[in-house]
Amino acid sequence: MLEIIGYIAGTLTTIAFVPQVLQIYKTKSAKDVSLAMFLLFTLGVFMWLAYGIMTRSFPVVAANGVTLLLSLVILYFKIKYRNANS
Amino acid sequence: MLEIIGYIAGTLTTIAFVPQVLQIYKTKSAKDVSLAMFLLFTLGVFMWLAYGIMTRSFPVVAANGVTLLLSLVILYFKIKYRNANS
């Protein structure tokens, strides 16, 4: 039961970034998305991934590996569409 | 060492939401912020909080408690400034 809640929580906080990626991709606009937020968040997720690798925790590695990828895509979009919207 | 990395990671992925809150507050615009992202994310963080309470893990409760609050503020802003920017 506890494990299931943890897995659902991890899945939700990971897949949450998919609609944000899709929205920026479609609108080509990321003006309202905070660059500082995604810089701090990406760095934090990278450290969670390192933590997961060091503690050999597969769920932590899987969730943060996917989140890191999505977060990097948003960061790339944010920088790419920065001039177009500032 | 491992614990320190976990604490830094948790602090970063929590405080990351502060600049997003400030940016929306200042610009009164949240058009590019995905509603679906923050709905899924808030629900996920709420479940992490429940998981932390059930496993009596103070760091999980603290980090997700603060993130839930910040995430709810962003969600409130997103809904508040929805019509103004759509």
Query: How many Cβ atoms from other residues are within 10 Å of residue A13's Cβ?
Result: 25
How does DSSP assign B19-58, residue by residue? HHHHHHHHH---TTS-HHHHHHHHHHHHHHHHHHHHTT-H
Query: How many Cβ atoms from other residues are within 10 Å of residue B82's Cβ?
Result: 12
Residue to test with chain B: of A18, A27, A32, most B Cβ within 10 A: A32
Polymer length in residues for chain B: 86
ipTM confidence score: 0.90
Q: What is the nearest CA distance from A77 to chain B, expressed in angstroms?
A: 12
Domains contained in chain B, number: 1
Work out the pLDDT band at A86, boundaries 50, 70, 90.
very low
User: What pLDDT does B14 receive?
Assistant: 97
Q: For the residues A42-65, what does the mean pLDDT come to?
A: 94
Q: How far apart are CA B6 and CA A73, in angstroms?
A: 24
Q: For the residues B25-50, what does the mean pLDDT come to?
A: 96
Q: What percent of chain B has pLDDT over 70?
A: 95
Q: Which domain holds residue A22?
A: 2-85
Instruction: Give chain B's mean pLDDT.
Output: 93
CATH of the domain at B61: 1.20.1280.290
* Yes or no, beta carbons of A34 and B43 under 8 Å apart: no
pLDDT tens column, B55-66: 999 889 999 999
Q: For the residues B19-45, what does the mean pLDDT come to?
A: 97
